Amino acid sequence: MPEWLGLAGQRVLVAGGAGTLGAALVDGFLAAGAEVGVTDLSDSALAALDSRVSVRVAADLSQAPAARQAVGDVRERLGGLDVFVHCVGINDRRSIEQYSADDWDRIISVNLTSAFHTATEAVVGMKAQGHGRIIFFSSVAGRSGHKLHGPYAATKGAINQLMRVIAHENAEHGVTANAVAPGYMDTTLTRQYLSDHPEKREALVALIPAGRFGQLEEVVDPVLFLSSPRASFITGQVLYIDGGRTIV
């Protein structure tokens, strides 16, 4: 990992760090010499993480008090927070009339409510210390009107706007906020769907100018850069990492 990134010794919290993209990010931050804390839903998922992860907090981040408490706990145990990454998310593919009120509430609370409360709690300390990096996981679905993504797309579009407001309110305090918007990746979130609908993979690949799905490291490296002191003048941006999916 290039030293010029300047992530060595940075105190990083990855919410959702036990997931597919999250765990890859945790490995990336550890390789860059950062001190890493993770909060995620279950103790068993957290236990499987690299032994160098210094703080692990199990919490249902869709619940406001638990989300705020988890970020506060990790910050206290790391002795501060320089970087916060929100990498929590669920999806459930149906046409909009097939979602119940409970389905809607569940997706909104896991994807969006968790983002609001965790990032807000993280910003408090960053603002006080005069520096910080916030990275959200958006999606190409936050921009394009893909079918069967109603609540998910709504949360990702909302995360983009939440990110822009956080970026604006905190730029003068040395805190940047950005989002990455991956396209189609081969992860837990998509694997079940693609194995249930094998014909879909080919159809999706045909929509990507690069002609393939994204690899985990192609998301991890840009997130490390945006989290680093090198990205000090980049704020309020959504970075599409999608092999060109959103340009066609």
Ligand X SMILES: NC(=O)c1ccc[n+]([C@@H]2O[C@H](COP(=O)([O-])OP(=O)(O)OC[C@H]3O[C@@H](n4cnc5c(N)ncnc54)[C@H](O)[C@@H]3O)[C@@H](O)[C@H]2O)c1
| Part in contact with ligand X (CB under 6 A); list of ranges 28-36, 116-124, 166-174, 181-189 | 181-189
Pair 19, 90: CB distance under 8 Å: no
Phi first, then psi, for residue 242 (nearest 5°) are: -145, 15
Q: How many residues does the chain have?
A: 248
Choices 94-102, 178-186, 195-203, 229-237; region in contact with ligand X by CB under 6 A: 178-186
Tell whether residue 20 is a contact of ligand X (CB under 6 A): yes
Write the binding mask 61 to 90 for ligand X: x where contact by CB under 6 A, - elsewhere.
Answer: xx------------------------xxxx
Chain centre distance of CA 45: 17
CB atoms under 10 Å from CB of 191, counted, come to 12
Which one of 73-81, 93-101, 180-188, 232-240 is the stretch in contact with ligand X (CB under 6 A)?
A: 180-188
The answer to whether the beta carbons of residues 119 and 166 sit under 8 Å apart is yes
125 binds ligand X (CB under 6 A): no
Q: Tokens in use for 59?
A: 């919490």
The yes-or-no answer on residue 152 being catalytic is: yes
Residues numbered 27 to 46 that lie near ligand X (CB under 6 A) are: 40-41, 45
How far is Cα 141 from Cα 107, in angstroms, rounded to an integer?
A: 14
Binding site for ligand X (CB under 6 A): 16, 18-22, 40-41, 45, 60-62, 87-90, 110, 137, 139, 182, 184-185, 187-190
Catalytic residues: 152
